[in-house]
Chain A
């Protein structure tokens, strides 16, 4: 039998998942719609940072254990570090290959 508290926790949990999924989706939309490699990297790094953070937060609520929450925080930070580094490497490679950034007024 679920108590009111359980129902509330589950509600918060699923709200966090939904919010996280929204930002992943928005990031993917940006990946498709944005005009060049640099702007697409913006969409991926920012939206996924927040999306994964929200999903991890939801999972931490579900786990209800401080150690598991700490582990999820660690996962989030490691993915952020890897994501930001990979993003920098792609951007730097694009600069080295002299990929001109898209500017306003150009056709997409």
Chain B
């Protein structure tokens, strides 16, 4: 939190007099309000996740831009139900939001152990792609997942 404040104030150390106590208070309050224990993010997992996210953000942006601009507008959307393997609410929320930012998938509803995903184009290995994102989020939190059973789009 303090590091974030430091970045926001553009490295102005004088601003830390206000920022540091505020950051500490914000961190403590959010920890107190958070219902279950926060999972620990692994640095190496974070690095791999960041690389994966950047590459796929570019792919996702280009993919949807082309579909929107092509006169034929090639889309074949559907809602599929994906069986979650990730344990824990925090990891699942990270996965849900990540999926919405990546190519062709949009999280629509997080259920008890399933996630409804709106798929922009059903052609291709959509379920396997979603499982790959889930693997990356698992790696971020140092969790190992069994291979996904897969499923038709």
Residues of A within 8 A of B (CB): 22-23, 26-27, 29-30, 33-34, 36, 38-39, 41-43, 45-47, 49-51, 53, 65, 67-68, 70-71, 74, 80-81, 83-85, 87-88, 91-92, 94-95, 101-104
Contact = CB atoms under 8 A, between A and B. Distances in A.
Nearest to A36: B77
B64 A42 contact: yes
Contacts of A104: 75-77
B87 interface: no
Nearest to B68: A30
Contacts of A95: 79, 108-109, 116
Nearest first, the 3 A-B pairs at minimum CB distance are: A50-B61, A30-B68, A26-B65
A27 B77 contact: no
Contacts of A81: 97
A41 B77 CA distance: 12
Contacts, number: 123
15 contacts: A26-B66, A27-B64, A30-B67, A38-B77, A38-B118, A41-B106, A42-B106, A46-B101, A50-B58, A53-B57, A84-B100, A85-B97, A92-B108, A95-B116, A102-B77
B28 interface: no
Interface size class of B (residues with CB under 8 A): 35 or more
Given A30-B68, A87-B100, A95-B108, A46 B78 contact: no
B73 interface: yes
B44 interface: no
B68 A33 contact: yes
A81 B96 CA distance: 11
Contacts of A41: 100, 106, 118
B105 to A, nearest CB: 8
**Which applies to chain A's interface (DSSP): helix, strand, loop or mixed?**
helix
B145 interface: no
A51 B62 CA distance: 10
Contact of B101 (A22, A84, A94): A84
Interface in B81-101: 96-98, 100-101
A42 B97 contact: no
B27 interface: no
B91 to A, nearest CB: 15
Given A30-B68, A50-B61, 14 more contacts: A22-B65, A33-B73, A45-B100, A49-B57, A51-B61, A67-B7, A70-B7, A71-B7, A74-B7, A84-B96, A87-B106, A91-B109, A92-B110, A95-B109
